[in-house]
């Protein structure tokens, strides 16, 4: 084997080893988030479906919001939860951390767009 061939073999072997050591990270905060969720809630004309979700104290739940029509968001004031404004066809997965001392509590979630809340776009997060 020539000196050049040996040098190329060493270089390719080194590149192969380096390729195996690299890490790829991905952060999805846009509308095509496909993270596994504990709940999927569909948002549409003045309603959430389902409009009741449950969790345990101290639990962190993932909620996938899927907007079917119009513009909507998802808000829980007491837990400082607010999604992005979602257009028709958009989705977002959010995480909600339930306080340890929340046993038996009920939190209202709602859409803060215009008069959607007053029109009945509300739901309940019940803590067991």
Domains of the chain: 39-127 (2.60.40.420)
pLDDT score for 52: 98
Return phi, psi of residue 94, to 5°. Answer: -120, 155
Per-residue pLDDT of the chain (128 residues), as tens digits, is 566 555 545 554 544 444 443 322 222 333 444 446 899 999 999 999 999 999 999 999 999 999 999 999 999 999 999 999 999 999 999 999 999 999 999 999 999 999 999 999 999 999 99
As a whole number of angstroms, the distance between CA 51 and CA 72 comes to 14
pLDDT score for 37: 83
- pTM for the whole thing? 0.73
pLDDT score for 120: 98
Q: Give residue for tokens 């509308």.
A: 31
pLDDT score for 126: 98
The CA distances from residue 27 to 19, 46, 93, in Å, are: 21, 31, 12
């Amino acid at each position: 084997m020539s000196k050049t061939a040996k040098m190329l073999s060493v270089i390719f072997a080194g590149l192969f080893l380096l390729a195996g050591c690299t890490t790829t990270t991905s952060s999805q905060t846009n509308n095509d988030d496909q993270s596994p969720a504990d709940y999927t809630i569909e948002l549409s004309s003045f309603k959430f479906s389902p409009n009741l979700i449950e969790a345990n104290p101290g639990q962190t739940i993932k909620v996938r919001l899927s907007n079917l029509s119009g513009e909507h968001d998802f808000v829980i004031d007491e837990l400082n939860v607010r999604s992005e404004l979602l257009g028709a066809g958009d989705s977002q997965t959010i995480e909600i951390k339930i306080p340890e001392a929340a046993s038996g509590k009920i939190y209202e979630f709602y859409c803060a767009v215009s008069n959607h809340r007053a029109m009945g776009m509300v739901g309940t997060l019940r803590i067991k």
